[in-house]
Each structure stands twice: as structure tokens, then as C-alpha cells.
Structure 1
Amino acid sequence: MELIPAPYAVEGPAGPEVPLGDGTTLWAGPGAQRTERWLRATLGAALGLPLHPGPRDARDGVRLLLDDTLAPEAYRLSAVAGQGVEIRGGGPAGVFWGAQTLRQLLGPDAFRRAPVRRGAALGVPHQVIEDAPRFRWRGLLLDVARHFMPKEGVLRYLDLMAAHKLNVLHLHLTDDQGWRIEIERYPKLTEIASWRTRTKFGHRASPLWDDRPHGGFYTQDDIREIVAYAAERHVSVVPEIDVPGHSQAAIAAYPELGNTDVVDTTALSVWDTWGISANVLAPTDTTLRFYEGVFEEVLELFPADAAEFSAFVHVGGDECRKEQWTESVTAKTRITDLGLAGEDELQSWFIGHFDAWLSARGRRLIGWDEILEGGLAPGAAVSSWRGYAGGIAAARAGHDVVMCPEQYVYLDHRQAPGQDEPVPIGFVRTLEDVYRFEPVPDGLTEAEARHVLGTQANVWTEALEDAARVDYQTFPRLAAFAEVAWSPLPAPAERDYADFERRMTAHYRRLDALGVAYRPPTGPRPWQRRPGVLGRPLDGPPPNR
């Protein structure tokens, strides 16, 4: 059976298939209505199945129901001739993940938007599948700040995530190179900060430029639509508003946010190259009040009850350069007034302010592992990106952790050695490398390991200028990552990669039906290459866990 991610247990197939056709009915019990709508719309469009409402006991029907003996995201799919197909879920999400498995069982044509073989016989193999995820947080970061992804692209990726049983979309909405969310009280964030005059093409060492203006942003109604679309698919959307670094775009729009006693912030523009800008937020009351206003609107747009992890708000907190603070009289005065030891503790104070502010409103702060430096409030969580060390330190200190080490799951990193890979940046991380990634670090006690909420793959877009490039870097490695996040795999060295490759043969056909411009296992197609566009090759093994 070619299911990805692999289920926990399968009994069968044995006996005749369960046929599906024009007479197949669909019944949904209380709590399963989202999946009922999704199944009827998706399979109806792809396979021409009307799936009319019918009774629960229909012998050739599909039944969806909740079963409180199962864990919330667990499901049990049974297909028995003469009894139809039944999907039981421990909660609404479990029913939905079971429906995603049913879609895979119906073949690659179930992933199309219209029928291609009208009248073809359809059937589900006679079997029972018992399944549940290993991790609660199974995430994907999309960097829409460096290169903007229009709303339709985000909705498409939510569908791709759901097809792989991923349940957290981390939207990186702001950075030095662009601000992508409408904030009504600060209109210059979209008038000025949402576009740049030109863009570095390739790594920052590249001599090439794209001289077209680049930009875009999501209106507040766009964000509401994205969040609602995600919730229908049991996906939480976690927004990231980066502070206090990665903020040149915001400063270009509102110069008073910057360190005005050090640089002429009125001369700044949205950054057009890559790297880490020295232009960071000033540690002033003006800055705090401004971002409190931003977060007030963000909390309204991303309600805490939309999905499981919707209470989280990501504040970045990484790669904050301190040169301007070192020179700034205003920053030095703030350090003295607060009794801090220096600029590092000043950053911790900045993050702590928003941790307390968010906590007072029933939300949870999450940030990159730099936020551990200088101490962190108990309720805050950590995205561990600089290897495993930050995650280990956070878990041992009692903080929840999402493991996303760049050495393993930064999908903008190149997929193979050699000159054919487009814009080859970062470590070489093959499909097999991702499949052998282990999210739980060695050395944690059982209690500490429980703080690992899960794992996340990150797609940064400095070198990914359009949707085709995002697809190429993300797939097929996201399929391997999804199995790591969902399935009960053995230790990395013991994983059956040959079996995964075998199942991927069928999965490539699903990706083809979905129109995903993935990297073929034989290497990039001619039009997927970027000859002459410089990357930044870094070789060598990842650090030890």
C-alpha cells in the first residue's frame, strides 16, 4: 500500500473492494460536517462522485463519525464489502485525516480538479487502517516576506499541507525586505513597506539584480479567508511579526521606529538584498506602543480558537544585530534605567515585554531560539533552528519546543551536490536526509521530551522568486518530512528508506495530478535550473544531536 505518511497499522487488504459510484451516499455524524463538505467538494469534483446524503446504515455508503475512544487526531478507516467505508475519528481532525487517507486509496485521479476517466470503476481495498500522529505540531513555514506569495498560492499550500496531514502553517509575514499584512492604523506599512524597487537575484554575493519592483500584501479580509480556509482543513495559522531585528521595512515606513540618534532613518528604504540588516527597532516606548497596536489587529485577524495551535503568535527574535544599540544614547539610557547588563539583556527585555503583553490577552508567544538568551517567561515556546542545542536547553528549562534545525529541515537548502541544482545554497540535504531526521534530541528525559510539541520544515524564499521555485525546493522533501512528523518511525538508521522510495513512486503521480513542480528523483528538469545564478555552497555533516 502506497500511503504517505505511512499509517500506524493496516489489516488487509483482504476480500473484494468496496465499490464507489453514482449511488454511493455520504453520511456524517455530529462533529464531522467539515470533512463531509470537504469530501463532497473534493472527490465530487475530481471523480464525478455526487456523494448524495444517505442513511447511516447504507450498505454502499461512506460514513463519518466521532469516536471518543480514540485520541483527538486518531482515526480508524474500515472498508468492508457490503458495509461500505467508515471513518471514525477521535475528534473532527481525526475524521479529516482519515478522509485524506481515503483520497489516497482512490488513486492519483482523486487529486485532480475534474474527472479525466468518466465512468471508470472506483473502489477502496477491503482493509482496516488504524492511525494517529506521532507529534501534535506538524508544521511548514512559508516565508512570504522575502518573495511575496499571493493569497491563492497560500490557499494552495494549505491544501498541499492537508494532503500530507500537516497541521500548522507558520506565515513569516514581515522582514527587512517586505511587510505583508495590512494594519489599518498604520497604512504606510502597506503603502511603503510592502514593496521594494529591485531585488537581488540569487545569493547576496551574486552580481545579478531583478530590476522590477517587487511587492504585495494580504488585506485583512485576505487573512481572514486564509485563516478560515485553514480551519476547515484543521490547520492552525501562526503569524510571525518579527521584532526587534529583521525590521528595516517597517522602519522605512515609520522612521521613528529606528535608532534615530545613530542613523538617518528617513533615508532608509525597504531592503533589496539578502542578509541581516543592521537597522533594528529602537528600544523606546514609541516602538512598544506601535507594535502593541500591530499585535492588537493581528490578534483579531488570527483568533485563538480557530484551530489547535491558533493561540500562538510568533515574534521572531532572531539575528538582532546590536551595533546601533551599542552606539545609541537612547538604548544605553534604557539599559541603565532597567538595570540590565548590556545589549543582549536589552533584547531579552524587548521579547519579555511582548511575552507579558500577549499572555495578558490569553495568547502564547513563540520565537526563534535566540529568545532563550537572557531568560524567558514560563509560558513561552521556542522554535529551535540553530541545530538541536536551543531545543534541548528550552525543554530542560520547561519550555515547549518546535524542532526545525536548519541542518535538516530548511528546504531552501540544496537537494543534491553538483552544478545543476538551481541557486545552490546551504547544506546538501537529500530526500533521504530529510527522511532520517529525528525531531526529538538525544539526551532528554521522558519528561523533557514531552515538551517537544513537534517539528516544522522551513521554506525561506530569498532564492525562491516564484511559485515554481517554492514547489521545487519543497517537494518531494516535504513528503518525507510529513512521514517523520506523523508516522511511528524507528530510529533514523533503522528506517526503511527503500520502502519509502517505493511508495513515493505512487506519490509522484499524486503530486503530478496536483500540479506540483517538484524536483524529480533524477534531478532538475532543464527549465528548473538557474545556470549562472550564484548560490552559497556549504558542505559538511550536520552537527551531532
Structure 2
Amino acid sequence: MGELRKRLLGLFGSAAALTLLVAPTSAVARDQQKAPVTVPALTNWASESGSYQYGRGVRLVADSPAERRVADTLADDLRAAGHGTVPVVGGGARTGDIVIDVQPATTSLGAEGYELHAGRRLSVTGATETGAFYGTRTLLQLLAQGDRIPAGRTVDVPRYKERGVGVCACYIHITLPWLENLVREMAYNKLNQLLVELKVKSDAHPEADTWGYYTKDEIRQLVALGDKYHVEIIPEINSPGHMDPWIENRPDLQLTDSDGNKQPARLDVTQQAGFDYYTSLMDEYAQVFTAKSWHMGADEYMLGSDYSKYPQMLRYAQEKYGASATPQDAYIDFINRVQAYAANKGKQLRIWNDGLTGANTVPVAAGTTVEHWLNVTTKPSQLIAQGYPLMNAAYSLYLIRGGFHSDTESLYDQSWDPRSFDGEKLASSKGITGAKISLWPDNGRGETENEVAVELWPALRHIAQTTWGDPHPDATYAEFTARGTDVGHAPGWRDLTRLPLADGTYTFRTTGASFEADITRTADGYATVRTAEGCLEVSGGKLTLNVPLQPGVEATWKACDATDTLQRWQLTPASDGFQLVNVITQMALTVTGDGRLVQYPPDQRTPAVWHLTAP
């Protein structure tokens, strides 16, 4: 026993008395120095004595219109998170209140930073409405861990302007509830940009309305949620490559090779009609998307081929730019024409980087944001030196449905940050707009939406951390992931793995068909429908990304296979029964006149409503 401890014991009489004297003081000191748990982690926290207590009688104090909008959203989220109904009031604050303060003169907070101060009352201050909103996300995360928040102050400002997630719903339809969950989770973790490659059902071009589309009302609903939660939803129609969802029924617009073969995925950029068609789609998207950016893709135009197979590209380029022009100049010319069209509509253009190989003599228009995902000849440092805003969309940040998954743990252990591009690590963040993770459907039936979600949440929180603050706030990856567990899901997030009825045997009845089947919940929260003949499965027709996406494809009984996602079904409540919706094709079953079960989009054929009874 140390001499000092012996003397103290002599003074205080017992080890227990000494512990009471010393331990609480040191523990309190440590707690005051430690920042509360959030995602992204707080980079600075000045502790104070005491705590803020959220309790009965709390009010949200907001005066200006911007403050009231933030407070109204916070009130909705507090109610959704089980924290009760909190009134929004104006005027002076009292003990226990939460004060929302937008002070434009606080320029040090920038466009998205905030200051949070917890004491007898709690205040959130931003120079902008968006900044104040992000402060409320921190507050919600703290309340998810308890109603008592340690007293202290933080000033929290993001390092990067663009903090994003990219989703390709370009062939395989992704449900609106899943996308809404994503928007809420992004905002909760202070991500601000959702880039979506998807098809909006076209009124101007009904020949392009093959399945995979969203109705305009669905997109309006999603964009409204994004607006509420400060997530900008940026649309993409990939072009001039990967255009098959749009021009598979328009051979007149398809690029033709020197052997006379039409290329359904390649738009003929040498035709004015091709440009007019594409810009008409842009105009139609503008009816439902409010973003100030337009993503045109521009990747993989010559994937699996080369320009020499298309002599018209060189002719077009030389006629427009002179004898020294290259075939790639025709491709760049199309990008620049779209850029000018977008700029005239008040939108900034975004493209992928892989087409910028340096084989062009015509430069991409200044101000075009380049999203770097593939290591090609033109490096990130060169693009920045040429003045292009550069976003890091590295392939190491991809989650491929049924394929490659980003190794989030390895990236965290390496202290990955947005300066780390595939093929080059930059010393400075200057010129880098931010970074995003990307979800791609290469093997559409490889995983269900719920399975993708399990992989997504750790990657989402990691990109939120690396784009907002310190890329390595905790000593271990396990400690970092524990943050996500502590703060939980966003208020309003829906558990999409719950079945609306129990496992068991049921009789299914609808007009024109009936059968008895066992319903069994799958590990990812869907259901198999099994009879003595086998499991209900959609199969046949033309496959797109390994998925039968054609309306009218039949569902039949096949040998049961637990790994076959086409045998998994959603039981969607409808009137006094359920619709049977395939979890991969996202089409509901209808019944033909001769009693066959076939899939159709819900806006093309009214889904059958199945009435289930237990025998």
C-alpha cells in the first residue's frame, strides 16, 4: 500500500470512505471531458457542470419562419421517436426548453455547421436553417441514449460540402418505403446528397415505359421528404451509354456499328434527334425533381467495343472541330451540349470520370462536377488542376447487389478519407467536393432489399463520419460501430422485416383462384409460399440483370430453394386481404381468365387481393 494512501486512510478511517471521497470526483472529471456519443462524432466538446434534463413541460422555442420549420420537423421526429408531443412556441425560453436559433451573422458556422449548448435549457444555433437542422439531428441522437444530456457546448462544422449516397434503381425497382428509410437515415447522420439513377414513367415517351419506373407522384413524395430533411435528391439518366432502359424500343436512336448492328444501350450522339430525345427527358424530370444538379452519367459508353467500329463518330467530330479531332470528341461534344442545356435551366452537370481518358481534343465544359470511381489515364489531381469540382465515388465504396461489398472495417482501420481515390492519394482536400457510397444492382436477384440494408448501414455511417469530421474517431472499428448501436435508427425509420401475419398454413382465395399453402418467414423478413407442388416463384421471360422484369411473366410452383430470392414474397396489406408482391421484381400477382398467376406493375393491372384464412 502506498505511503500517501496510508496517510489518507489514517485521516478518513476506511478504504470505503476514501473511495467515496476520491472516485466520484475523478469519474465526474472524466465524464465531463468525454464528448457525448454521436455519428458523426463530435470533434470538440467543452464540458460544463450539470446536465440538461428533457422532461414534461419541454417546449421548442422558435420565432422566425426558418426556425419554426426546423422546430416543426424536430417536433415530428420527437413524437416519432417516442419522446411525446412537444409544442412549438415563440418568445422567451424557460428552464427545460429547447431553443432553435438561426443567426445569419454567425458566419463561422458556414452553411451547414451549428453550435449546440446544453445546460438548464438546450439551444441549437445555425447560421442557416440547414445548420440548425443538423444540430437537431445531434440532439435526437443524444436523446436516443437517455433523457439526461451532459452540460456542455460544441461547435460542429462539416469538412466536405457533398456527403452522399448513390443508388442505381435503374433496372431493378427499389421500393419507396426503402428509399424513404434511406433518406431519414442519411439526414440523421448528416448526409446531404442522394443521387438516384432511376426511370420516371414518361408521358412524352410511353414507348420507354418498360418496368422499373416510378410514377411522378411517387417521386414527388420522395423529393418532398428529401426537402423536409435537407437531403438533395439528384436524378440521373445515364447517357449516352446504358440508355437501353429508354431506347430499347427506339432503334432509330440507337448507335449503329460498321456491320449494321444496332446497339440498344448506346445513344447515337451524332443525331440531333438523340440530343432532342434526351433533353426532353430532362424537361420531364424537372416536373418532379427540384435539385440544382443533373447527373448524365456518361460512363462506359464504349464498354466492350471501341470507336473504330463507329466511323460516324469520327466524321461528326471532324466536321465540327476540324481534321485533328478524335472520335472521343463526339462523345465530349454530347456532354458539353447537355451541360449547356442544364446550365440554361439553372442546373449544374455531373458526370462519371471513366470516359475522360485524354483521347479527346475538346475539353469538358468548365464547372462540370466529375465523380471519380475508376482509375483511368486522367488522374484525380489532373482533373482538379484543370479546375473541375471532384467528388470521390471510389469503387472501394461500392456495394454491388449480390456481388462485391465495400470493406468498411478495412477502410476505417486505414483511416480512409475523401482524399483517397482509386489510383491516387491526394495530399490536400482542396478541390474535392466530398464522397459517396454507391449501391449498384449488377446481380439483381443476388440479394433482397432487406439484405442490402444490413450491409448498407455500417457503410453509410462510415461515409457520414469521413465526410463530416475525423475519419478515425475511435481506436477500433468495434468502438466506432458501437456508436451506430447507441444512436439507433432515425425517427420515423420503418422496420421492413416484419410480416403482417404469423407463420402457418392458410387458404388463399381471390377472384378466379384459390390454393392452400404454408407461409414461412425468411431470415431477411419476407415470406415463402409453399404447397405440396413446391414454392411459388416468378420465372421465365427475358432476364435483365438476372431478373424476369417483363409484365405478364407467370408465377408457378418450383422446387423450394432457400437461396432463390425469386421465391420470396411481400404480403402487402390491401383492403381486407393482402397483395402478393415478388420481393425482387416488385410486381404484384394478378389472375388471368384461365386461372394463371402472372405479375404486373400495380399501375398496369389491379393486383389481386388475397383473403387468407387458417384451416
TM-score normalised by the shorter chain: which range applies? 0.7 to 0.9
Larger radius of gyration: 2
- Determine the structure 2 residue equivalent to 1:86: 123
C-alpha contact 1:26 1:61 (8 A) present in aligned 2 = yes
Secondary structure, in 3 states, of the residue corresponding to 2:115?
A: strand
- Determine the structure 2 residue equivalent to 1:431: 409
Equivalent of 1:393, from 382, 386, 389? 382
- Which amino acid in 2 is paired with 1:257? L
Correspondence 1:6-17 to 2 at 5 A: 6-12=41-47, 14-15=49-50, 17=51
- Determine the structure 2 residue equivalent to 1:297: 284
C-alpha contact 1:79 1:86 (8 A) present in aligned 2 = yes
- Determine the structure 2 residue equivalent to 1:312: 293
Equivalent of 1:51, from 86, 89, 105? 86
- Which amino acid in 2 is paired with 1:507? G
- Which amino acid in 2 is paired with 1:18? Y
Q: How far apart are the structure 1 equivalents of 2:63 and 2:153?
A: 20
Structure 1 residues 104 and 499: alpha-carbon distance in aligned structure 2, compared to 1, 3 A threshold: farther
C-alpha contact 1:146 1:462 (8 A) present in aligned 2 = no
Q: How far apart are the structure 2 equivalents of 1:265 and 1:22?
A: 69
- Determine the structure 1 residue equivalent to 2:143: 106
Q: How far apart are the structure 2 equivalents of 1:512 and 1:96?
A: 17
C-alpha contact 1:412 1:474 (8 A) present in aligned 2 = no
- Determine the structure 2 residue equivalent to 1:24: 58
* 1:437-496 deviations in Å (ceiling 9; x for gaps): 2212577586xx43211111111122464321221221212111110010144xxxxx35
- Determine the structure 2 residue equivalent to 1:365: 349
Equivalent of 2:336, from 328, 339, 352? 352
* 1:173-230 deviations in Å (ceiling 9; x for gaps): 2xxxxxx21232112222x3xx2xxxxxxxxxxxxxxxxxxxx322222222222211
Correspondence 1:483-522 to 2 at 5 A: 483-489=465-471, 495-498=472-475, 501-508=478-485, 510-511=487-488, 514=493
Residue 393 of structure 1, CA deviation: 2.0
Structure 1 residues 464 and 327: alpha-carbon distance in aligned structure 2, compared to 1, 3 A threshold: closer
C-alpha contact 1:382 1:391 (8 A) present in aligned 2 = no
Correspondence 1:100-499 to 2 at 5 A: 100-107=137-144, 122-173=147-198, 180-190=199-209, 192=210, 195=211, 216-260=212-256, 265=262, 279-303=266-290, 310-321=291-302, 323=305, 326-328=308-310, 330-338=312-320, 339=322, 341-373=325-357, 374=360, 375-387=363-375, 390-407=379-396, 409-412=397-400, 423-425=402-404, 429-434=407-412, 436-440=415-419, 449-463=429-443, 465=445, 466-489=448-471, 495-498=472-475
Q: How far apart are the structure 1 equivalents of 2:69 and 2:382?
A: 39
- Determine the structure 2 residue equivalent to 1:76: 115
Secondary structure, in 3 states, of the residue corresponding to 2:132?
A: helix
Q: Which has the higher strand share?
A: 2
Q: How far apart are the structure 1 equivalents of 2:489 and 2:217?
A: 31
- Determine the structure 1 residue equivalent to 2:72: 37
Residue 321 of structure 1, CA deviation: 1.5
Q: How far apart are the structure 1 equivalents of 2:348 and 2:475?
A: 41
Which segment is superposed worse, 162-171 or 362-371? 362-371
Q: How far apart are the structure 1 equivalents of 2:375 and 2:63?
A: 44
Q: How far apart are the structure 1 equivalents of 2:94 and 2:159?
A: 33
C-alpha contact 2:226 2:233 (8 A) present in aligned 1 = yes
Uncovered stretches (5+) of structure 1, i.e. residues with no partner? 109-120, 174-179, 196-215, 269-276, 304-309, 414-422, 490-494, 519-525, 534-545
Q: How far apart are the structure 2 equivalents of 1:78 and 1:170?
A: 33
C-alpha contact 1:245 1:321 (8 A) present in aligned 2 = yes
Residue 412 of structure 1, CA deviation: 3.0
* 1:37-68 deviations in Å (ceiling 9; x for gaps): 21111111322422113343222211101123
Which segment is superposed worse, 466-475 or 121-130? 121-130
Please, what TM-score do these two structures have when normalized by structure 2?
0.67
Structure 1 residues 515 and 301: alpha-carbon distance in aligned structure 2, compared to 1, 3 A threshold: closer
Secondary structure, in 3 states, of the residue corresponding to 1:170?
A: strand
Secondary structure, in 3 states, of the residue corresponding to 2:384?
A: helix
Residue 379 of structure 1, CA deviation: 1.6
* 1:347-372 deviations in Å (ceiling 9; x for gaps): 11221221122223322111001353
* 1:221-259 deviations in Å (ceiling 9; x for gaps): 222222221111111111111111011222213222103
Larger relative contact order (CA 8 Å, sep ≥ 6): 1
Structure 1 residues 133 and 183: alpha-carbon distance in aligned structure 2, compared to 1, 3 A threshold: same
Structure 1 residues 326 and 251: alpha-carbon distance in aligned structure 2, compared to 1, 3 A threshold: farther
Residue 503 of structure 1, CA deviation: 4.5
Q: How far apart are the structure 2 equivalents of 1:5 and 1:238?
A: 23
Q: How far apart are the structure 2 equivalents of 1:382 and 1:506?
A: 32
Secondary structure, in 3 states, of the residue corresponding to 1:498?
A: coil
Q: How far apart are the structure 2 equivalents of 1:450 and 1:185?
A: 42
C-alpha contact 1:3 1:503 (8 A) present in aligned 2 = no
Which segment is superposed worse, 51-60 or 233-242? 51-60
Structure 1 residues 396 and 23: alpha-carbon distance in aligned structure 2, compared to 1, 3 A threshold: same
Q: How far apart are the structure 2 equivalents of 1:45 and 1:475?
A: 20
How many residue pairs are counted as aligned between the two chains? 449
- Determine the structure 2 residue equivalent to 1:536: none
- Which amino acid in 2 is paired with 1:166? L
Uncovered stretches (5+) of structure 2, i.e. residues with no partner? 1-35, 498-521, 526-560, 565-615
- Which amino acid in 1 is paired with 2:202? I
Residue 336 of structure 1, CA deviation: 4.1
Secondary structure, in 3 states, of the residue corresponding to 2:248?
A: helix
C-alpha contact 2:171 2:245 (8 A) present in aligned 1 = no
- Determine the structure 2 residue equivalent to 1:213: none
Q: How far apart are the structure 1 equivalents of 2:185 and 2:86?
A: 23
* 1:2-25 deviations in Å (ceiling 9; x for gaps): 21101221112631x322223111
Q: How far apart are the structure 1 equivalents of 2:296 and 2:489?
A: 36
Q: How far apart are the structure 1 equivalents of 2:80 and 2:562?
A: 40
Q: How far apart are the structure 2 equivalents of 1:75 and 1:167?
A: 15
- Determine the structure 1 residue equivalent to 2:554: none
* 1:487-530 deviations in Å (ceiling 9; x for gaps): 144xxxxx354355325324225446856799xxxxxxx94699
C-alpha contact 2:39 2:487 (8 A) present in aligned 1 = no
Structure 1 residues 131 and 181: alpha-carbon distance in aligned structure 2, compared to 1, 3 A threshold: same
Residue 171 of structure 1, CA deviation: 0.4
